[in-house]
Structure 1
Amino acid sequence: MQLGVLVAGALVTEIVFGYPGLGRLILQAIQNQDFFLLQGAFLFIVIGVLLANFVIDIVYVLVDPRTRTGMQGGAA
């Protein structure tokens, strides 16, 4: 659900400051009905979100010692 908000925020920021980026690329693809470009752009965004979540999960296990205890089967 937050992916739409992320893309909309990127689009507004790119229009206001004149930056070329994914938001403007997605808008142009919608206007030109370029569905393959839309699929590629959203695939890129989704893979980025998945990688960020994976990295955050790994860092969380390293930072919070309670999660390491739970992974080893110890009593809480």
Structure 2
Amino acid sequence: MSFTLGARDVNAIGLTHARRPPLAPRPRQLATHTHPALYYRLGDGTDADAWTVLQHLTTHLKATPGGTVERSV
């Protein structure tokens, strides 16, 4: 199970914020340095907790670094 954040959304959210979720999966950068996408591996599909991790990740990505929800991912 994984989640990939495309280059357009990485740009909108901010690379620094998107790279540093407050949880275990650290993203792997895909694509180019000028238009990075991020790949978050959440598990092998056997652990139900991966859904909770995904919820925490999307909440983090929706929040701006200042703490307010900015947009839908």
TM range (shorter): 0.3 to 0.5
**Greater per-residue helix proportion:** 1
Q: Computing the radius of gyration over CA atoms, which structure comes out larger, 1 or 2?
A: 1
TM-score, length of structure 2 as denominator length: 0.34
TM-score, length of structure 1 as denominator length: 0.33
**Greater per-residue strand proportion:** 2
Greater RCO between the two (CA within 8 Å, min separation 6)? 2
